[in-house]
Amino acid sequence: MPEFHVVAGETVREVLSGKRSEVLDIVREAYRTHEAGRSVNPDSYFLRFPEKPDSRIIALPAYLGDDVQLAGIKWIASFPRNTASGRPRASAVLVLNDYETGYPVACLEAANISAARTAASAALAARTLRPTGFDGTRIAVVGGGVIARNISDYLEAAGCAPESYVVHDLHKESGEALVGHLRGTHGRTASFTPDLADALEAETVVFATTALEPYVSTRFRPGQLVLNVSLRDLTPETVLAADNILDDVDHCLKANTSPHLAEQLTGSRDFVTGTLAGVLNGEVTLTGERPVIFSPFGLGVLDLAVGAYVLEQARAEGSAITVPNFFGETSRW
């Protein structure tokens, strides 16, 4: 009978904080495994609340093969009103199951895992989709929360080093906090702008907001890279005027994401250029004649890949908590 472990949030943070390069590699390989069909990633399930239309709890079941060989599910809550009282918007747990027996083997605090895999995905896309690099360019970050902070950390780990950052947020204090993080932690030139239009002029624009519907109708110019992490900021017309790279086509074209709205508007998926794994594998080529928008819906297989790594490290360091007698019955008779 397998042991059951709990990995607390403090341990997750400690493991991940010094392992960003490793997490970037893990996310890249998870994308390739998924693209090759050696995974199972069903639709996410959204639990919504009539009296809280901005809030939801999402179930992301998945299985990842190759070196991981685990199934599992992330149960992540997104309650944007938490930020008004200084709490993070998202909280989550990740349950991992042994593939051979189906038995659960661990429960991990997963808000940090989710933020890390999201940020690593964005940074991997930035490095891959701007092969000329970031020298002499600006990166704009729209949204100043936990995901934005993690994305900035992973951009640095991925070697995406711009000349400067500009941050825009409707909540000035949050935007200024991210500016302080960029300056203090990474030694970068960074400034806050209250003008969204100014941020949208940057060579790379990162959206990390809690927007529920599109508000950006700007047509980006050739050479610009847009990391559409929050998925609902862009009008469908803006999406259609760009080359579009997704993490998974079927997953991204649902739940009224900006790409999904573009599909509804045109009745076609012809605007989709390909997947990030396709670019990584050399199967998708970008011409540079149009802006590039990367839209990652967020795949459960990424949570499994990063969660499996965290569990392995925590077990090796002795910081995973063993729960004795977790299973009520250990034999059939």
- What is the overall mean pLDDT for the chain? 95
Is 1's pLDDT higher than 70?
no
Please list, in sequence order, all residues whose beta carbon lies within 8 angstroms of the beta carbon of residue 167, skipping any fewer than 6 positions away.
Answer: 140, 141, 144, 148, 175, 176, 178, 179, 182, 190, 191, 192, 193, 199
Instruction: Judge whether 81 and 55 are in contact, CB under 8 Å.
Output: yes
Count structural domains, the chain.
2
| Domain of residue 206, CATH code | 3.40.50.720
CB 170, CB 233: distance < 8 Å: no
The kind and range of the H/E element at 263 are helix 258-266
Do 82 and 18 sit in the same domain of this protein? yes
pLDDT 10s digits, 127-178: 999 989 999 999 999 999 999 999 999 999 999 999 999 999 999 999 999 9
Q: Which helix or strand (DSSP H or E) is residue 178 part of? A: helix 172-186
Q: What is the DSSP letter of 65?
A: T
Are residues 286 and 311 part of one domain? no
CATH code for position 305: 3.30.1780.10
User: Average pLDDT, stretch 240-250?
Assistant: 97
Crossing angle between the packed helical segments 146-157 and 172-186, to the nearest 10 degrees: 20
Enclosing domain of residue 310: 5-113+300-322
Q: Are residues 288 and 169 in the same domain?
A: yes
Mean pLDDT of the region 272-300: 96
The neighbour count for residue 161, using CB atoms within 10 Å, is 14
pLDDT in tens, 3-32: 899 999 999 999 998 899 999 999 999 999
Q: How far apart are CA 10 and CA 321, in angstroms?
A: 12
pLDDT of residue 150: 96
135 and 281 belong to one structural domain? yes
Q: Indicate the pLDDT class of residue 85, thresholds 50, 70 and 90.
A: confident
Q: Are residues 273 and 311 in the same domain?
A: no
pLDDT value at residue 83: 82
Distance of CA 25 to the CA centre of its chain: 14
State yes or no: pLDDT of 298 exceeds 80: yes
